[in-house]
Amino acid sequence: MTAAPRRRRHEARKTPPDTGVRVRIVVTDPVPGVAYRVQVGRDGLHPPAQEGVRAVTFEFALRVGNARDGAPNFLPPFAQGPAGGRFLYVCSGVRAGQAGSCWERRAKIPLAGIRASLLRTARATPAATLEARIDGRAKDGGPACATVPLLDGGWQLRRQ
């Protein structure tokens, strides 16, 4: 009788992802002339769905699994960070692939505000998208950076 291959400790904790959820990030009042992109994986960049003077909008599917306690576990490639504290990065300037920019920043958008109940509602609602809005500028007038507060009360369910 052959023994089953040993699993690494981190493999035993993984749960299969479900279908995920549509996400929209709206960067309001972006700095003119500065590129914004959402980080994908370690060094990939996701382009905006719409770019304008008043806002830059990103749309993508966020993979979601379940943690051991049943809470949502947001998964790469869009989700960054440790399992208990995942977030999204909105890169700007050089980090967004804009060579020659004087800016090199990343804004961190926490995913902790997406409660399990909000996620269930989003999945059960046809054409639903979870939306977060952030200010595109930091206090110094440059692109937003570090952990940013969400506008409009946090993550919202929107219909397309």
Report which DSSP code applies to 41: T
Determine contact, residues 88/78, Cβ cutoff 8 Å: yes
Predicted TM-score (pTM) of the model is: 0.86
pLDDT, tens digit, 9 for 90 and up, residues 29-61: 999 999 999 999 999 999 999 999 999 999 999
Question: What's the CA angle centered on 15, arms 129 and 6, to 5 degrees?
Answer: 155
**51 Cβ partners below 8 Å, 6+ apart?**
36, 57
Phi and psi torsions of 108, nearest 5°: -105, 120
Given this model, what pLDDT does residue 13 score?
Answer: 45
The residues that bridge with 26 in the sheet, in sequence order, are 57, 133
Q: Which amino acid is at 144?
A: A
Low-confidence ranges of the chain (pLDDT < 50): 7-15, 17
Given this model, what pLDDT does residue 68 score?
Answer: 83
Residue 117 CB neighbours (<10 A): 8
**1 Cβ partners below 8 Å, 6+ apart?**
none
What's the first-to-final CA gap in the chain, in angstroms?
A: 55
What Rg, from alpha-carbon coordinates, does the chain have? 17
Given this model, what pLDDT does residue 15 score?
Answer: 46
Given this model, what pLDDT does residue 19 score?
Answer: 64
**Which one, of 40, 43, 34, 80, lies nearest residue 60 by Cα?**
40
